[in-house]
Homo-oligomer: A and B are copies of this chain.
Amino acid sequence: MPFRNSFFKSAFSVDNVIFGLENSTLKVLLIKRSEVPFINEWALPGDLVRVDEDLRDAPKRILKELTGLQDVYLDQVHTFGKVDRHPLGRVITVGYYSLVNMDNLKPRAASIASKVKWFDVFELESLPFDHFEILQKCIRRLQNSVREMPIGFELLPERFTLSDVQDLYEAVLNKNLDKRNFRKKFLSMGLLIDVKKYQTGVAHRPAKLYKFETSKYEEFKAKGFNFEI
């Protein structure tokens, strides 16, 4: 798809920050751009919003193109609109973040990209356009969100251990948390159901498996909680 310079008198786009978790490390999915400007550079996946497309559907579309996933948590974070943020014309962009489970996920290059790849969130130092700024805002939003909503659990498998949850929080917040206090506080929310099974095949004491109590989960998602930790 050639770049249509003429379109850029005034346009709006979305950019997606897609977070995933691997080995207790927070990752972000970048694409290798197949279009100018910044062709062949790693950048956030994004696209123009179509004229007949609701704004919030655009990041969903991109996410689906890249990962095949639907019904994923998506949060609008901020809109970026400096006059010169796009070298080829006036484009205002809306930044969204989402969280996906990296297991069994094989991101595929789409029309907007020649390649896709996961990067360590806290090791990136720059990105084209204002994408680094967008990424930073999304990280901060994610870190605030996990403190007050049941978020990020999309990153967990269906049955998980309490240590998995703690790993998730540590990856997102990028710091270590006290084990006993974490467990005490998390369990006291009543969000988890003990499924009465244990890990198998691990070379250490097997951990209890849990799942989410769906009704509590939805209640917290609507009303929020306070998980300062």
Chain A residues near B (Cβ < 8 Å)? 9-12, 49, 51-56, 76, 78-83, 90, 92, 94
Most chain B beta carbons < 10 A, residue from A52, A55, A81: A81
Q: Which residues of chain B have C-beta atoms less than 8 A from A52's C-beta?
A: 83
A80 to chain B, nearest CB (A): 7
On whether A12 and B9 interact (CB within 8 A), knowing A55-B80, A81-B56, A92-B55, the answer reads: no
A191 to chain B, nearest CB (A): 21
A87 to chain B, nearest CB (A): 15
Q: What is the oligomeric copy number?
A: 2
Interchain CB contact under 8 A, B12 and A92: yes
Interchain CB contact under 8 A, A54 and B82: yes
**Chain A, interface SS category:** loop
Q: Which residues of chain B have C-beta atoms less than 8 A from A53's C-beta?
A: 83
A63, B80: Cα distance in complex, Å: 20
Interchain CB contact under 8 A, B81 and A51: no
A228 to chain B, nearest CB (A): 8
Cβ contact of A76, chosen from B49, B51, B79, cutoff 8 A: B79
Interchain CB contact under 8 A, A55 and B76: no
A9, B49: Cα distance in complex, Å: 12
Q: Which residues of chain B have C-beta atoms less than 8 A from A12's C-beta?
A: 10, 12, 81, 92
